[in-house]
Amino acid sequence: MLTREENELLVRVGPGTPMGDLMRRYWVPALLCSDLPAPDCPPVRVRLLGEDLVAFRASQGKVGLLDEFCPHRLASLFLGRNEENGLRCVFHGWKFDVDGNCVDMPNEPLESRFKEKVHMKSYPTMELAGITWTYMGPPEKEPAPPGMEWTRAPESHRNVSKTLEFCNYLQAVEGGIDTVHSSFLHNNDLSNKKALGQISRSPRLDVERTSYGFRYAGIRDVGEIGNYVRIYQFVLPFQQFRSSRIVKTDGQRAAIPQNRGHMWVPVDDENTIIYNWIYATDEDRPFTKEYIAKYEANAGRGPDGEGAVRHQTRANDWLIDREVQRTKTFTGIPGLNTQDLAAQESMGRIVDRSRESLGTTDKAIIMYRRILLDAVRNLQNGINPPGVDPDTYRGVRAADAILPKDLPWQESAKEVLIARR
Ligand code: FES
Ligand SMILES: [Fe+2]
């Protein structure tokens, strides 16, 4: 539970808000590289941390990220012409380069030097691992580029997709942190009592602060063979790593060893874009196209499911089928990821956390909020937030394993938590 004031502090991300200032100290995903597939292709709108921007790929390939509105009379540059190394406003022809300099002003007299005085808001960009990142904070505080293990995996070993979520980032992240819901929300076979019985529905949670955020373990007793332990990493401000190496509690391993994760990036206070990443951790075990297609489809994304364009929303009750809910699945909602989205969006755009009743399995969520609150307050006293420096998280990965019961997981899982790339 939070006070209303604490809740407000955490959920507001626009320019000038304390949380907005915090998020602006990190490189954040602005769009997928594939959203701008070629030099001089059409520009796209980007709304990020409550700011309306436009992105374009210039002739030499560099991505510009500018204020959406032309500084002349504020026509949208989304309508603009992406010409030779600049975006030209369609209203009176002013043209801007990727750094926001006005490079042509054809409606002013030739001898006018007005264009030298016009400069528009622009943010630096960087392309890494299929994502175009931007930094929106004070220039002198710009950190080193993001350095997660997945960003170092070659394209053959990695995939990134995105999903739109119609609620505040915090409840979206909290849905992702929550480890317990899978036995309920994602139980897609009500008849499989055995599977449910095998795994305890209420794992013990262990949560630890780290220099980049926190890590936590969901520990389930699976009888004689030991504990099934899922260890998650959380890098501030909004990124989680998870592992799905073991697919069953009998120790069977996934076809391709991997880590997966999400970044929940605030579009504004009421909308979020989730960047879903997955990478194969073993050098000699890359993904196949079929594998990725199936993985995305299983998650309810991809060509036949929910992608960046959503078909299952509050407006159609996420296509809940009450007959399926009665006889087959816990929710009656098709698509694994859509089940998550439905639960989170059903709370409303911004949750009032002063009304919650948190239990023992909400420990990791409580930790996340505490760390964010500390980071926001510390930043106001000039202290750099956790997770800004890539050196703090470069060497970590998530893991899941059957571990002995008589050793702490921090010990027995030590080796498998080290990034190898
Ligand atoms: S509004 Fe863009 S050039 Fe006039
Ligand atoms: Fe889920």
72 lines ligand 1 (CB under 6 A): yes
Ligand 1, atom 1, residue with closest C-alpha: 73
Q: How far apart are CA 6 and CA 252, in angstroms?
A: 44
pLDDT for the residue numbered 203? 82
* SS3 at position 23: helix
**180 alpha carbon to ligand 2 midpoint, in Å?**
9
108 and 153, same domain (yes or no) = no
292 and 410, same domain (yes or no) = yes
In 3D space, the residue among 376, 369, 373, 388 whose CA is nearest the CA of residue 20 turns out to be 376
Q: How far apart are CA 180 and CA 183, in angstroms?
A: 6
Q: Which atom of ligand 1 is nearest to the CA of 73?
A: 1
189 and 71, same domain (yes or no) = no
Q: Is 62 exposed, middle or buried (0-12, 13-18, 19+ CB in 10 A)?
A: middle
70 lines ligand 1 (CB under 6 A): yes
Span 391-416, average pLDDT? 95
112 and 165, same domain (yes or no) = no
365 lines ligand 1 (CB under 6 A): no
**265 alpha carbon to ligand 2 midpoint, in Å?**
17
Span 293-300, average pLDDT? 81
131 and 178, same domain (yes or no) = no
Q: How far apart are CA 34 and CA 54, in angstroms?
A: 15
Give me the count of residues in the chain.
421
H or E stretch including 240? Answer: strand 239-243
Residue 4: inside a domain: no
Residue 2: inside a domain: no
- For the stretch 62-102, pLDDT in tens is 999 999 999 999 999 999 999 999 999 999 999 999 999 99
Pocket test for ligand 1, best of 78, 94, 102 (most atoms within 8 A of CB): 94
197 and 76, same domain (yes or no) = no
The ligand with the least distance to the CA atom of 340 is 2
Q: pLDDT grade, residue 214 (50/70/90)? A: very high
Ligand 1, atom 3, residue with closest C-alpha: 92
Q: pLDDT grade, residue 197 (50/70/90)? A: very low
Q: Which domain holds residue 400?
A: 149-417
pLDDT for the residue numbered 199? 55
Model-level pTM? 0.95
**pLDDT beyond 70 at 196:** no
91 lines ligand 1 (CB under 6 A): yes
User: Is the Cβ–Cβ distance between 43 and 78 less than 8 Å?
Assistant: yes
102 and 204, same domain (yes or no) = no
73 lines ligand 1 (CB under 6 A): yes
Span 291-318, average pLDDT? 78
Domain boundary among 141, 175, 202: 141
Higher pLDDT, 192 or 247: 192
372 and 228, same domain (yes or no) = yes
The ligand with the least distance to the CA atom of 88 is 1
pLDDT for the residue numbered 335? 86
77 lines ligand 1 (CB under 6 A): no
What is the end-to-end Cα distance of the chain in Å, rounded? Answer: 39
Average pLDDT of the chain is 92
Pocket test for ligand 1, best of 70, 81, 103, 115 (most atoms within 8 A of CB): 70
Strand partners of residue 96: 87, 102
**131 alpha carbon to ligand 1 midpoint, in Å?**
30
137 and 156, same domain (yes or no) = no
75 lines ligand 1 (CB under 6 A): yes
Crossing angle between the packed helical segments 363-380 and 169-177, to the nearest 10 degrees:
140
**88 alpha carbon to ligand 2 midpoint, in Å?**
44
Residue 257: inside a domain: yes
Residue 368: inside a domain: yes
Q: Which atom of ligand 1 is nearest to the CA of 77?
A: 2
50 and 122, same domain (yes or no) = yes
Q: What is the CATH number of the domain that holds 56?
A: 2.102.10.10
User: Is the Cβ–Cβ distance between 55 and 132 less than 8 Å?
Assistant: yes
Ligand 1, atom 4, residue with closest C-alpha: 92
**81 alpha carbon to ligand 1 midpoint, in Å?**
12
Domain boundary among 141, 157, 187: 141
Q: Which atom of ligand 1 is nearest to the CA of 105?
A: 3
The count of structural domains within the chain is 2
Span 123-141, average pLDDT? 98
- For the stretch 5-18, pLDDT in tens is 999 999 999 999 99
Convert 287-334 into a string of H (helix), E (strand) and C (coil): CCHHHHHHHHHHCCCCCCCCCCCCCCCHHHHHHCCHHHHHHCCCCCCC
**91 alpha carbon to ligand 1 midpoint, in Å?**
5
Q: What is the CATH number of the domain that holds 225?
A: 3.90.380.10
**pLDDT beyond 60 at 303:** no
380 and 397, same domain (yes or no) = yes
Higher pLDDT, 250 or 24: 24
Residue 16: inside a domain: no
H or E stretch including 169? Answer: helix 169-177
Span 252-270, average pLDDT? 89
Span 365-385, average pLDDT? 96
Least confident of 29-43, 115-129, 246-260, 274-288: 246-260
Q: Which atom of ligand 1 is nearest to the CA of 75?
A: 1
HSE-CB at 130 with a 13 A cutoff on CA atoms is: 18
Residue 19: inside a domain: no
267 and 297, same domain (yes or no) = yes
pLDDT for the residue numbered 305? 47
**pLDDT beyond 80 at 194:** no
Domain boundary among 111, 141, 171: 141
**pLDDT beyond 90 at 216:** yes
Residue 173: inside a domain: yes
In 3D space, the residue among 94, 160, 103, 163 whose CA is nearest the CA of residue 129 turns out to be 160
89 lines ligand 1 (CB under 6 A): yes
Least confident of 73-77, 90-94, 139-143, 200-204: 200-204
Residue 12: inside a domain: no
What backbone phi and psi angles, to 5 degrees, belong to 327?
Answer: -110, -25
pLDDT for the residue numbered 421? 86
**74 alpha carbon to ligand 1 midpoint, in Å?**
6
The ligand with the least distance to the CA atom of 106 is 1
